[in-house]
Amino acid sequence: MEYKFKSILLVDDDRGTNFLHEHYLKEWEVTEKIYVAMNGKEAIDFLKDTPSFGADKLSLILLDINMPVMDGFEFLEAYEQLPVELQASIIVVMLTSSLHKKDMKRAQANKSLKGFIHKPLSKEEMKKIISQIKQLEHKV
């Protein structure tokens, strides 16, 4: 793929899913840095401790919904409390196995989310994400 994110953060409590998605992302060469958080709290702590995530170039967060400690929607509530400058260079996409319509509606209503896709991540879905981001960049 012709687009590269500065870095990607996978937020999912399933080690097998993270392993698979890391493999795909490396194979597709869409970033040089991949980070993993096992729940929303780990992800928020990572973002607070790593202000360079997303600096200078867009970074991507692929976020699961159902996780222990802090789920995806709780993460989004905490994420929206982070400095606006940090949020400006981060794209958040929900990547979940949830088929509940209430989850999809709740996700669509959240201003921080730029997409809602089902696991596992596919090359076609990644191309769609990149296409949306290119459109966003042209508007800025």
- Residue 4 and residue 30 in contact, taking contact as beta carbons nearer than 8 Å: yes
Phi then psi for residue 43, to 5 deg, are -65, -45
- Residue 113 and residue 76 in contact, taking contact as beta carbons nearer than 8 Å: yes
The reported pTM is 0.90
133-139 contacts, C-beta under 8 A, 24 or more apart: 133/3, 133/58, 133/91, 134/3, 136/91, 137/58
Q: Give the per-residue pLDDT at 138.
A: 53
Q: Give the per-residue pLDDT at 140.
A: 46
How does residue 36 score in pLDDT terms, banded at 50, 70 and 90? very high
pLDDT tens for 2-16 read 788 999 999 999 999
Ordered by where they begin, the domains of the chain are 8-139 (3.40.50.2300)
Q: Give the per-residue pLDDT at 1.
A: 66
Given a cut of 70, is residue 98 above it in pLDDT? yes
User: Mean pLDDT lowest for which of 27-36, 37-46, 56-65, 129-138?
Assistant: 129-138
Q: Give the per-residue pLDDT at 85.
A: 83
